[in-house]
């Protein structure tokens, strides 16, 4: 049977962290799954700050997510550098310092490795396959080819074609510019807040050699200043040769209300699975991908409702996502204050509260 005439158990649109993880668990459950991705080489070009928490840090951040070591098996070759501190930096440049176990990835290699992992379980991939539309069980590519699946999963990122066609809920998207710069940037990951990144933040994440430096904003707070000029302004604070320039868009409204419509599912960025208070999306997309994949398998084997995926997501991630959304809302308001107020607001007394905001705990201990 050809790929086109086969009725796949599931078709996954997009082979990023969400799609490849979903496919991995569907294949592990013994089902036939095809991943369609518009890129020729999944993961390229780089669109990322490349920071993820270690597995221990993930257990602290998302305590209801089980079996983290099975889910996140990051190979050493995908890790550029391990970091031990996070600095939250107000406009004054005087940071609040926190212990934080992070991993700076070689993101391109990381995503390729996720493809290899899913393929090793039996998932099949078709690259250079841009999806144009989805109609019931039929997925149509831009070149006119049709593929058929009992379940269709939209894991195409913030501009996913299934989300565009069937979901009307809109999400706030933060535009981002970033560079890779050569040089020595220490051992701490830095998040910078203030008027240099209105409504968003800037980052300096050190790699084995050099750093990933970027900035994202909310346009409505930027008072006419363009992302380009703000990003160039921030990046010009650092000296080193720029070896790569990238851009992207990050959904910052948190997870959407409904992930399932009939036999259609969304996962990862397409479902808003990014923690808005810190921009973490890679590991969170993989948490969603595992739940989606496992639910698809039990739906096909035992008739379990696909809505079990939403229930399980809420059980594992509901409170973390709720806290993160609240922190982002309060944070967006605070970040509109003048820089001199922010400099006063980031101080040793507020230090624990700031950390609760960033790490998605209840901001004020009680609510």
- Compare residues 13 and 354 and give the one whose CB is closer to ligand FAD: 13
Measured CA to CA, the distance from residue 362 to residue 185 in angstroms comes to 32
Q: Number of residues in contact with ligand FAD, rule: CB under 6 A?
A: 39
Closest alpha carbon to 234 in 91, 350, 68, 44: 91
104 binds ligand FAD (CB under 6 A): no
- Compare residues 131 and 300 and give the one whose CB is closer to ligand FAD: 131
In degrees and rounded to multiples of 5, residue 57 shows phi and psi of -65, -40
Measured CA to CA, the distance from residue 366 to residue 363 in angstroms comes to 8
Window contacting ligand FAD (CB under 6 A); options: 13-21, 301-309, 334-342, 343-351: 13-21
13 binds ligand FAD (CB under 6 A): yes
Residue 50 C-beta: closest distance to ligand FAD, Å: 5
Measured CA to CA, the distance from residue 15 to residue 286 in angstroms comes to 12
CB 147 within 8 A of CB 174: no
Residue 301 C-beta: closest distance to ligand FAD, Å: 25
DSSP string, 49-102: --EEE-HHHHHHH-TT---HHHH----GGGEEEEEEEEEEE-TTS--EEEEEEE
Residue at shortest CB range from ligand FAD: 281
Residues 147-186: x where in contact with ligand FAD by CB under 6 A, - otherwise, as a string: --------xxx-x-x--------------x-x--------
- Compare residues 43 and 331 and give the one whose CB is closer to ligand FAD: 43
Measured CA to CA, the distance from residue 139 to residue 192 in angstroms comes to 42
**DSSP letter (8 states) at residue 253:** S
Q: Which 251-290 positions form the footprint of ligand FAD (CB under 6 A)?
A: 268-269, 274, 279-282, 285
- Compare residues 222 and 255 and give the one whose CB is closer to ligand FAD: 255
- Compare residues 36 and 335 and give the one whose CB is closer to ligand FAD: 36
112 binds ligand FAD (CB under 6 A): no
The position carrying tokens 């600095």 is 87
Closest alpha carbon to 101 in 46, 61, 47: 61
- Compare residues 74 and 304 and give the one whose CB is closer to ligand FAD: 74
Interacting residue ranges for ligand FAD, rule: CB under 6 A: 13-19, 36-39, 42, 47-52, 130-131, 155-157, 159, 161, 176, 178, 214, 248-250, 268-269, 274, 279-282, 285
């Amino acid at each position: 049977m050809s790929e086109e005439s086969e009725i796949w158990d599931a078709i996954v649109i997009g082979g990023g962290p969400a799609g490849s993880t979903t496919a991995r668990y569907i294949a592990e459950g013994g089902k036939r799954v095809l991943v369609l991705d518009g890129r020729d080489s999944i993961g390229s070009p780089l669109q990322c700050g490349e920071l993820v928490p270690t597995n221990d840090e993930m257990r602290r951040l998302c305590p209801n997510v089980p079996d983290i070591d099975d889910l996140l098996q990051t190979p050493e070759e995908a890790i550029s550098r391990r970091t031990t501190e996070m600095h939250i930096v107000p406009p004054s440049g005087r940071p609040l310092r926190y212990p934080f176990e992070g991993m700076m990835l070689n993101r391109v290699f990381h995503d390729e490795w996720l493809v290899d992992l899913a393929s090793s379980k039996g998932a099949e991939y078709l690259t250079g396959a841009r999806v144009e539309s989805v109609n019931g069980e039929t997925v149509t590519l831009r070149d006119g080819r049709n593929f058929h699946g009992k379940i269709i999963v939209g894991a195409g990122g913030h501009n996913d074609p299934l989300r565009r066609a069937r979901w009307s809920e809109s999400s706030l998207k933060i535009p981002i510019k970033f560079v890779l710069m050569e040089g020595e940037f220490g051992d701490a990951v830095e998040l910078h807040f203030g008027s240099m990144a209105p409504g968003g933040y800037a980052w300096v994440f050190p790699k084995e050699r050099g750093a990933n430096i970027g900035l994202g904003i909310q346009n409505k707070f930027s008072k006419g200043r363009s992302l380009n000029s703000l990003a160039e302004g921030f990046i010009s604070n650092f000296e080193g040769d720029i070896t790569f320039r990238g851009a992207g868009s990050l959904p910052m409204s948190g997870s959407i209300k409904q992930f399932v419509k009939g036999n259609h599912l969304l996962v990862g960025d397409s479902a808003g699975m990014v923690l808005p208070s810190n921009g973490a999306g890679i590991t969170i997309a993989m948490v969603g991908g595992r739940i989606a994949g496992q639910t698809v398998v039990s739906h096909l084997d035992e008739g379990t409702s696909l809505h079990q995926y939403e229930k399980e997501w809420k059980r594992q991630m509901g409170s973390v996502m709720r806290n993160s959304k609240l922190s982002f809302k309060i944070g967006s308001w605070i970040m509109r204050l003048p820089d001199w107020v922010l400099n006063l607001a980031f101080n040793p007394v507020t230090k624990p509260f700031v950390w609760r905001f960033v790490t998605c705990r209840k901001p004020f201990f009680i609510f």
